[in-house]
Amino acid sequence: MPVDAATVRRIAHLARIAVAEDEVAHLQGELNAILAFVEQLSEVDVQGVEPMTSVMPMKMKMRPDVVTEGDMADRILSNAPASDGGFFLVPKVVE
Amino acid sequence: MNELTSLTLADARDGLRQKRFSADELTAAHLAAMEQARALNAFVLETPERAREMAKACDARLARGEAGPLEGIPLAVKDMFCTAGIRSTACSRILRDFVPTYESTVTANLWRDGAVLIGKTNCDEFAMGSSNETSCFGSVISPWRPRGANTPLTPGGSSGGSAAAVAARLCLGATGTDTGGSIRQPAALTGTVGMKPTYGRCSRWGIVAFASSLDQAGPFARTVRDAAILLRSMAGPDPKDATCADLPVPDYEQAVGRSVKGLRIGVPKEYRLDGMPAEIETLWQQGGEWLRNAGAELVEVSLPHTRYALPAYYIVCPAEASSNLARYDGVRYGLRVEGGDINAMYEATRAAGFGREVRRRVMIGTYVLSAGYYDAYYLRAQKVRTLIKQDFEQVFARGIDAILTPATPSAAFALGEKSGSDPIEMYLNDVFTVTVNMAGLPGLAVPAGLDARGLPLGLQLIGRPFDEATLFSLGHVIEQAAGHFAPERWW
C-alpha cells in the first residue's frame, strides 16, 4: 500500500513533525521503500494466531497504594524550556 | 596504551584487592587513554572529575576491606542511560542539554557495586541505527582499520561508542542497549563481547525509551568473563519497572569455564543466507567445530519464520518508538522551537530536534498505528512475532540448549557506505540479531576470528529465557579456541 504525497503530509501532521514542501517527495520515497519491505508479511498465514502482548510471560506486579515519591516540583521543572510559579508554560491554547 | 589499560576487568579487580595498584591509578590510566583517543569520537561527555572522586571513594572502601564486586573498575555508559546530574542526551538534538535529576536503575546498580564512571558514550540518535552515523554528535570512528588501509570504518551501532571504547582499551567495560542488535552487532564489528540479556533481566527504568517491548540493557567487555561479571551487577529485580523479572541473578562468573559437554546446540538452516560471504559461513562452521570439540552436540534445527523477523520488526519497533517519542513536545524538557500556536510549536520543535532517521521511524510508526491501517500492519506484525517466538519455543522443547548463528552478515563497513537513500540496506545488518529481540531471548556476541582484511567477525549464541549462564559457558569455549583480537593503535 504505497503512500501518496497527501498521505505523507497527513502522517507528518499526526506525528507533529513539520515537513517542508520540498521534503515530501523524498520522504514519500523512503516511506514507500520501508512499506514495500514490510509487505512480505502479507504472505504469512496468521489465521488463528494470537497477537503478542507480552514477550515474557509475567504477572502484573502489585504494590501498596501509597504515595512513594512527591514534593519534587523543582526537580521536575528543572529541565523545562519555560516555567513559571511551579507550572510548565505553553503557548496560549484557550482563547 | 599502558599496562593498566591492557588488563581484563577480572584482573584489574583482583589487582585492586591485592593492592598492586590503586583505583585512583587505574582510573587515571583510563582517563589518559580516553583523552588521547578523541579522534575516535567514542565519548560525547568525559567525566574525569566525577571519575576521580568515585575512584577516591573506592580506594577508601578497598582500604577498609569493603570492596564491592566492581570496586574501582572504570566503565563507560551509553548516553541512553540517565545519569543524575550528568548530561544525558540519547545523542539527539532534542535532548542536547538534558540533565536528569535521577539515575537509571542499571547504572545505579553499577555504582552500588563500586564501579567508576569515566564518561558517556556516543550512539545512534535514540539508538536508531546500525552504524552510529545518526548521532547528533557525529559518527564514531572504529579503532579497527582494514589491513594496510586507513579507510574510516563504522564500529557498528547503535552502541558504537561503547564498543569502540572497550575495543580501544579506554575503559574495562561499558553499558549498551539492544533493541534489534545494538549491542551484539557493534560487539561483533569491534572484536568485543556483547550480551543482550533476556527481556526483563535488566530494569529499563531511567533508560531513554525507544521500543519498550524490545529494549534491553547489557554489557560490553573484552572477555566473556568480564561480560559475565558486569551483567551480574547490572541485572536484578526493580519495583520501578513492571516488566523487570522478579528472579534472582546467578553468579554468572561461575558459568565461565563450566563444561559444555553434552549440551545440544541448534544450528538453524534459515540463517544461511544467499550471498552471505564465504568467510561468515566458514566462521560459523568453525564455531560449531570448537563447541563439538568441547563435547557439545550439534543439531540442525529450523526456525521457519526467520525471514519475517526483520519486516515485522520494522513495524513493531517504529510503532513503539512513535508512541514513546511523543513525549518530546518542547514542554517538559528538551528543545523548544517557538511557533505561532501550540501545534506549530510541537511541529517546529520535533522537526528541528529529531534527525532524519528518527523522523522517518516516527512517521512510519504513526502510519502503521493510524486508523484503518492498524490491523493490516501492527496487528499482523504482532501475530508474526508470536510465530517467531513459537519457532524458538519448539526448538528448545526438543531439548536444544542454545543456538549458534553468525552475529552479522559481514564485517565492519565504511562510514557512509550504507547510509544512502535506501534505509533497508542499513536495516539488513540486523538480520541475525533482530529475531532474538522479537522473541525476548538472551543473545551473546563473541569474537571468533578476523576476515581477509584483518577485521573482526563474531558469532552469536542464543539461549533459553533467563539462561544467560549457559551462553557464558559456551561463549568462553569459543573465546578459548578463537583467542582475543585487539586493534592496532593509530589514534
In a domain, A28, yes or no: yes
In this structure, whether the domain defined by B3-262 belongs to CATH 3.90.1300.10 is answered with yes
Taking CB atoms and an 8 Å limit, are B200 and A58 in contact across chains? yes
Q: What is the pLDDT of residues B321-362, one digit of tens each?
A: 999 999 999 999 999 999 989 999 999 999 999 999 999 999
The three cell numbers locating residue B398: 526438543
Query: How far apart are the C-alpha atoms of B143 and B150, rounded to whole Å?
Result: 11
| pLDDT > 70? residue B459 | yes
Query: How does DSSP classify residue B414?
Result: B
Per-residue confidence at A36, pLDDT binned at 50, 70, 90? very high
Minimum CA–CA partner of A9 in chain B: B363
Interface test with A, best of B94, B359, B378, B389 (most A CBs within 10 A): B359
pLDDT of residue B2: 61
Q: Output Rg (C-alpha) for chain A, integer angstroms.
A: 23
Taking CB atoms and an 8 Å limit, are B387 and A55 in contact across chains? no
Per-residue confidence at B1, pLDDT binned at 50, 70, 90? very low
Q: What is the pLDDT of residues B267-309, one digit of tens each?
A: 999 999 888 889 999 999 999 999 999 999 999 999 999 999 9
Would you list the domain boundaries of chain B? 3-262
Q: What is the pLDDT of residues B13-26, one digit of tens each?
A: 999 999 999 999 99
The three cell numbers locating residue B221: 567487555
Q: Give yes or no for A78 touching B (CB within 8 A).
A: yes
- By C-alpha distance, which of B95, B205, B215 is closest to B159? B215
Q: Give yes or no for B379 touching A (CB within 8 A).
A: yes
Q: Which residues of chain B neighbour A5 with C-beta distances below 8 Å? A: none
Catalytic amino acids of B? Answer: 78, 158, 182
CB A75 within 8 A of CB B333: no
CA-to-CA separations, B117 to B84, B123, B195, B455, in angstroms, rounded? 12, 17, 20, 29
Q: Output Rg (C-alpha) for chain B, integer angstroms.
A: 21
CB B55 within 8 A of CB B48: no
Query: How far apart are the C-alpha atoms of B443 and B445, rounded to whole Å?
Result: 7
- Please state the ipTM of this predicted complex: 0.95
Q: Give yes or no for A90 touching B (CB within 8 A).
A: yes
Minimum CA–CA partner of B366 in chain A: A15
Q: Which residues of chain B neighbour A30 with C-beta distances below 8 Å? A: 360, 421, 423
Q: Which residues of chain B neighbour A38 with C-beta distances below 8 Å? A: 311-312, 314-315, 377, 381
Selected residues 283-312 of chain B with any CB under 8 Å from a CB in chain A: 305, 307-308, 311-312
CB contacts < 8 Å between A and B, how many?
172
Domain count, chain A: 1
Examine residue B158 and say whether the peptide bond preceding it is cis (omega within 30 degrees of 0): yes
- By C-alpha distance, which of B209, B203, B214 is closest to B440? B214
Range of the domain at A30: 5-40
The model scores a pTM over 0.95 = yes
